[in-house]
Amino acid sequence: MRLGIYCDSGVNGGHEEMLKRLIHALVKCPGIVSLYILVPTGNEAMSLFARNIAGRHRQVTAISLPFTSEQIHRNPLAMLSATWRTAALLRGLHLSKLVIAQGTIVSALAGLIAARLTRTIAVSYIPLVDDEAQAGAPATERIKFLVKRVLYQLPQQYITLNDHLRGKLVKLAPATPTAILENCVDDKFSNTALTRDAARSLLSLPQSGKFICTHIGRIHFQHKRQNFLLAAIERNPDRFINSLVLIVGDGPDAAKLLQAVQASEVLSRCVRIIGPQSDVLPYIVASDVIVLPSGYEGVPLVMIEAILAGRPIVASQVSALGSYLPAELLFPVHDQDAFVDRIFAAQTYPLAELTASFRLRFSREAFDAQAQRVLLQSVPQRCFTDHLKHNPSDLGTK
């Protein structure tokens, strides 16, 4: 098999980290004779990763893309140019499949459309799935969803994270095969010898007298909702008097986050903005609880990492997180008081059984075997119009 990997994201977040782990699994697969990794020069972390992998494995070739999805977003001419340039690349590669990393169905469209133009089997890797626009939604929202509904027919195979997301994809693209590939994390999180006291010493954090609560993730208010965390603290200032709240990460709302903390006496007293870190393990181990008040999620890596390291994580009850975490570690997405209650109760939750199940469920061995099995499966070529002929209602009018 001649396999391609396409990623045009300019950021290096959770989706990109999982793509790297997928690539590590595929380079071990004897059924893949050639692996081409197409990544933008503008994403230095992904570009460096691709070059390093190509340097170590002779069947791997790194190919630079001169654009990122962020650069061509909302620019039809740039999108057209990127699509044609990608199609020209694909025509010369003669791939069996192209795996396209999609944060949502509207991301990486240049690669997805180029694959369909060149009759290359397009595999969409772990896209988040949109909910249908409600009856009372604005007309613009309903139109956007109808456009997305068409885009969901473009991939010829989906790889998603769990049954919840697969069910949503099956409703939107019933003719498209959908496989599940659960995430995995580095073994260091379950095998660490680092203790809580040693981690706090390493990070110059108080050894005692402070309850430490940590948020790890991209600073993006709509997705990760650090602003919700800040609002919950300001609403319950007395609960956080003897607490230290660490926010680890970087992202488009980093400046807004800093401004909000500096402008508030309550927040500036207990919130510490750490910035991006290459290794989050010490922050997890040093914490009493990890928090994840996201507005939407797939299967967040930090959730797996925290549980494997023996630390409770309190998350909003979105998507399928209830199939991974017990009710004691979840809160209704808009309930700040319930969020705070869960934060301070979480340290008493017995984690041993959950940690043991996570070690089996999210192991590197399980991930590698399933990744190879899914990607080596044959997928029939299907014209885009085939689905529309048999399912005209999928263009949906209400």
Q: What pLDDT score does 337 carry?
A: 97
Q: What is the CATH number of the domain that holds 150?
A: 3.40.50.2000
CB 317, CB 331: distance < 8 Å = yes
pLDDT recorded at residue 298:
82
Q: How far is the CA of 383 from the CAs of 46, 122, 187, 189, in angstroms? A: 32, 11, 42, 44
Hunting for tokens 């800093």 — which residue is that? 258
| pLDDT in the model for residue 383 | 58
- Domain match, 81 and 140 both: yes
pTM score > 0.85 for this model? Answer: no
Give the separation between CA 121 and CA 139, rounded to whole angstroms.
Answer: 34
Calculate the CA dihedral of residues 354, 315, 207, 275 and round it to 10 degrees: 120
Q: How far is 108 from 255, CA to CA, in rounded Å?
A: 27
Residue 101 sits in the same domain as residue 193: no
Do residues 381 and 307 both lie within one domain? no
Q: Cα-Cα-Cα-Cα dihedral of 227, 233, 234, 240, to 10°?
A: -150
Give pairs for 201-206: CB < 8 Å, separation 24+: 202/282, 202/286, 203/282, 203/283, 203/286, 205/244, 205/286, 206/244
Cα–Cα distance, 65 to 74 (Å, whole number)? 18
Task: List the pLDDT tens digit at each of the 398 positions of the chain.
Answer: 999 999 999 988 888 999 999 999 999 999 999 999 999 999 999 999 999 999 999 999 999 999 999 999 889 999 999 999 999 999 999 999 999 999 899 999 999 999 999 999 999 999 988 888 777 778 888 888 899 999 999 999 999 998 989 999 999 999 999 999 998 988 899 999 999 999 999 999 999 999 999 999 999 999 999 999 999 999 999 999 999 999 999 999 999 999 999 999 999 999 999 999 999 999 999 999 999 999 988 889 999 999 999 999 999 999 889 989 999 999 999 999 999 999 999 999 999 999 999 998 898 898 999 999 999 988 876 655 454 444 433 333 33
221 lies in the same domain as 240:
yes
Tokens of 28: 């071990």
Q: Helical H runs in 152-296? A: 163-172, 188-191, 196-202, 226-235, 254-262, 265-270, 281-286
Asked if 35 and 60 touch (Cβ cutoff 8 Å), the reply is yes
Do 329 and 385 share a structural domain?
A: no
Together in a domain, 336 and 374? no
In total, how many domains does the chain have?
Answer: 2
State the distance between the two ends of the chain, measured CA to CA, in whole angstroms.
Answer: 43
Angle of helix 352-361 versus helix 301-308 axis, rounded to 10: 120
Per the CB < 8 A criterion, the answer to whether 83 and 117 are in contact is yes
Quick one: 380 and 236 in the same domain? Answer: no
Residue 235 shares a structural domain with residue 286:
yes
On whether both 50 and 171 belong to a single domain, the answer is yes
Range of the domain at 117: 2-184+366-395
Whether residues 140 and 243 fall in one domain: no
Q: Are residues 280 and 388 in the same domain?
A: no
The verdict on 333 and 207 lying in the same domain is yes
Q: Give the chain's length.
A: 398
